[in-house]
Amino acid sequence: MAYSMTGIGRASGDLRRPFPLMKFDVEIRSYNHRFLDISIKMPNCLLPFENEIRREVQSRVTRGHIVVVIQQDREIIPTKIEVDRTLLSAYLKLADELRNEYRITGEIDINTLLSVPGLMKFSQTPVAGEETYKAFLPILKKAVNNLVKMKEEEGTNIVRAITRSVRKIDRNLRNIERMIPRRNAHYKKNLLSLVRGVQRELNEDRLYQELLYTAERTDVTEECKRLHSHISIFKDALANESQPGRRLNFLLQEMQREANTLSVKANYLPINKMVVDIKEEIEKIREQVQNLE
């Protein structure tokens, strides 16, 4: 089963006991990348467990740029509010001094006090780190599972598209093999016509040398065999490997090389047209393979 390198997985959940109520939202996005690169954005309470979170993702994903975003809903977390009593005493003392010294009238009410910068201090109730992570882990696992599920679905669609192109390459290659006798007859006819035109000046040894050279230079049997072999290995890797991306890329390079050689050696327009079709399908496959893990 091949997996797409792109996908997204989300999950949310509440942590209740033995903590104050907390809610976590996890989103994991996967993008194309030659290697595995994981970046994580998380709340402070999970920072000590970055390596554990990274290992959890690595256990299911082997390639791609992975962005993990963990958000903590702070609004539902109990908050501790404290008053800076030292600042409050200094503020009230200064107000009394100003009132007595300058005979300023007016009263200080609660709204005035609450607007004093730094007077009120807010802090979150601390929670147990290890227990928090253990309770959070099922949410993370669910997000990773959803990511892998989407990667699998997209991978199935990619494999279908690649399979269609491979069939076209295979069909064109077999047509080329059927056309080789016609190509040989074409060369033979032209060569005989040329021989008849220069019979008086023809050296028989030189003729045989030229015939051998031409036969060797234009024989595409090996190229066809190697292409068949590459196609067979490609199909097997696509069907049976879970992360075939790198292997398929290498095979495509080999197929491209054999197709180029076949086109040059065949030197026959109908065959060259089929080779162009083969190259077009190879490029289509290459684009698709870039999305495979």
Q: At 270, which helix (H) or strand (E)? A: helix 269-289
Per-residue pLDDT of the chain (293 residues; tens, 9 = 90+): 789 999 999 999 988 765 567 889 999 999 999 889 999 999 888 889 999 999 999 999 988 999 999 998 754 455 678 888 998 899 888 888 888 888 888 888 888 888 888 888 766 555 557 888 888 999 999 999 999 999 999 999 999 999 999 999 999 999 999 988 887 777 667 666 666 665 555 566 655 566 555 656 677 888 999 999 999 999 999 988 878 888 999 999 999 999 999 888 887 888 889 999 999 999 999 999 989 98
Query: Could you tell me the two tokens for 227?
Result: 């292409």
User: What are the Cα distances from residue 89, in Å, to 30, 80, 86, 149?
Assistant: 55, 21, 5, 61
Q: What is the pTM of this model?
A: 0.67
pLDDT in tens, 62-95: 889 999 999 987 544 556 788 889 988 998 888 8
d(CA 11, CA 145): 9
What is the pLDDT at residue 241? Answer: 85
105-136 per-position pLDDT tens digit: 888 888 888 888 888 876 655 555 788 888 89
CA distance linking residue 274 with residue 112, whole number of Å: 85
**What distance in Å separates the CA atoms of residue 165 and residue 162, rounded to the nearest whole number?**
5
Alpha-carbon gap, residue 281 to 208, rounded angstroms: 39
Considering only CA atoms, which of 21, 3, 8, 27 is closest in space to residue 139? 27
Give just the sign of the alpha carbon dihedral 156, 161, 166, 167.
positive
Query: Is the C-alpha dihedral spanning 36, 42, 47, 53 positive or negative?
Result: negative
Out of 3.30.230, 3.40.50, 2.60.120, 1.20.1630, which CATH number does the structure's domain 7-76+128-152 have?
A: 3.30.230
Which residues of the chain does CATH 3.30.230 include? 7-76+128-152
Tell me what pLDDT residue 201 has: 59
CA 263 – CA 252 distance, rounded (Å)? 16
Q: Which of 209, 22, 243 is nearest to 133 (CA)?
A: 22
Q: 3-state class of 161 per DSSP?
A: helix
Q: What does the block give as tokens for 94?
A: 């200064």
